[in-house]
């Protein structure tokens, strides 16, 4: 089978969507002909990576599949208007420059976000007369409405109409949670065309191991101190101010490290300085291959989300990676992610309640035996239920049924 995967974000950019898509493409390529259509890497800084600059398009071979890249308007991950222009630029360049470089696929799969990539994939699928599969990783634009980023009612109405039109145009809609499926079905999308395929983790890459003393030192933790880490995007969805507030309750031997980039990072640094959070440190994002060492070198890993109803159906993919490395995890979440973490033996607390989070961190920090037991249970749980290789194989079987039909 010939599979075309269309996505705005892709390695060497750092992030959960990029990792998931590249690892899925790698598994698919073991038995199928896989092409990826994407833009030039620049997320989240807005600076196109060295070796990709000054081009309108280019081709690469990666892990057994081909990657076709087209021009994008590179902009930092800040500001709704600029980010939207960046998304629109790939939508257009993918259509104008991309499809001429592609071999005829049997199926086109597009990953959203970003939403505008769906139009690129729809045009290409129409051009080749093949099925379109829309993969929904965020309920867009609903998430921006709930976060207060989008407030213009006519624009919201238009975007919601476009969203539903895209789902109806697809032969198959793939979502990551049952909550997402329920939302789409409640808005008129036929249940039989919506398939739930969860996130997962590369169990070989994210595996248990000894902490690295140099890494711990670089993150601000001494030999006898407990290192609490948040590793990932610093965005408005995560409510990271709560973790800064909780740091004041963590005790003198607890250090808090924030690793990553994002639109909210500078404001978080200023918030920590204003609140004199002396046991909190901020660090730049790291390459994907360096993340497992960071995780294994931490004592407690935090998975937070804002306390919004829509987030009860959002499952952060980072939590599977955290659990796979056999490190204690605290989730400040509700709904489906809270249920998964609880079943895995992780600790769950209400989101955006710093006193509760701080007390929970203090308890785990003083109890290494509990941390170890919970971490081992979580590793066993993801091995059984969230092996990304098996999930990718289940996914490709859905594509095979679709193309056979």
pLDDT band at 282; cut points 50, 70, 90? very high
Q: Is the pLDDT of residue 283 over 90?
A: yes
Q: Give the tens place of pLDDT for each residue, 373-383.
A: 999 999 999 99
Percent of the chain beyond pLDDT 70? 94
84 CB burial (10 A radius; 0-12, 13-18, 19+):
middle
Nearest to 351 by CA among 368, 365, 330, 371: 330
pLDDT at 358: 95
pLDDT value, residue 250: 66
Choose among 349, 338, 343: nearest CA to 385: 343
Contact 18, 28 (CB under 8 A): no
pLDDT of residue 7: 94
Residue 161 pLDDT greater than 80, yes or no: no
pLDDT digits (tens, 9 = 90+) for 94-126: 999 887 889 999 999 999 877 789 999 999 999
Q: What angle do CA 265, 269, 274 make, to 5 degrees?
A: 145
Mean pLDDT of the 22-38 span? 95
Cβ(382)–Cβ(323) under 8 Å? Answer: yes
Q: For residue range 302-324, list pLDDT tens digits in order.
A: 999 999 887 888 888 899 999 99
- What domains can be seen in the chain, in order of their start residue? 2-200+387-404 (3.40.50.2000), 213-385 (3.40.50.2000)
Q: What is the pTM of this model?
A: 0.83
59-73: average pLDDT: 94
């Amino acid at each position: 089978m010939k599979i075309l995967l269309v996505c705005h974000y892709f390695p060497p950019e750092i992030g959960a969507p990029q990792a998931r898509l590249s690892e899925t493409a790698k598994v698919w390529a073991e038995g199928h002909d896989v092409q990826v259509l994407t833009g030039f890497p620049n997320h989240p800084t807005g600076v196109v990576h060295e070796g990709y600059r000054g081009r309108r398009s280019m081709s690469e071979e990666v892990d057994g599949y081909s990657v076709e890249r087209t021009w994008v308007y590179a902009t930092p991950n800040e500001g709704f208007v600029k980010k939207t222009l960046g998304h629109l630029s790939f939508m257009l360049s993918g259509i104008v420059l991309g499809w001429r470089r592609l071999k005829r696929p049997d199926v086109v799969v597009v990953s959203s976000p970003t939403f505008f990539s769906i139009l690129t994939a729809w045009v290409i699928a129409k051009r080749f007369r093949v099925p379109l599969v829309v993969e929904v990783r965020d309920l867009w634009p609903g998430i921006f409405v709930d976060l207060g980023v989008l407030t213009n009612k006519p624009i919201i109405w238009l975007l919601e109409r476009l969203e539903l039109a895209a789902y109806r145009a697809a032969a198959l809609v793939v979502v990551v949670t049952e909550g997402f499926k329920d939302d789409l079905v409640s808005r008129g999308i036929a249940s039989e065309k919506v398939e739930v395929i969860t996130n997962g983790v590369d169990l070989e890459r994210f595996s248990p191991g000894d902490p690295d003393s140099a890494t711990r030192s670089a993150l601000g933790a001494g030999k006898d101190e407990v290192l609490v880490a948040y590793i990932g995007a610093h965005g408005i969805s995560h409510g990271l101010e709560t973790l800064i507030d909780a740091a004041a309750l963590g005790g003198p031997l607890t250090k808090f490290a924030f690793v990553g980039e994002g639109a909210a990072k500078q404001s978080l640094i200023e918030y920590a300085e204003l609140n004199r959070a002396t046991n909190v440190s901020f660090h730049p994002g790291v390459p994907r291959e360096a993340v497992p060492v960071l995780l294994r070198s931490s004592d407690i890993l935090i998975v937070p989300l804002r306390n919004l109803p829509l987030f009860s159906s959002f499952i952060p993919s980072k939590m599977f990676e955290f659990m796979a490395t056999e490190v204690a995890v605290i989730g400040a979440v509700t709904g489906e992610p809270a249920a998964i973490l609880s079943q895995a033996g992780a600790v769950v607390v209400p989101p955006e309640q710093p006193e509760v989070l701080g007390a929970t961190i203090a308890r785990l920090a003083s109890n290494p035996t509990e941390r170890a037991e919970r971490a081992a249970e979580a590793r066993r749980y993801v091995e059984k239920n969230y092996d990304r290789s098996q999930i990718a194989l289940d996914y490709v079987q859905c594509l095979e049924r679709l193309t056979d039909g």
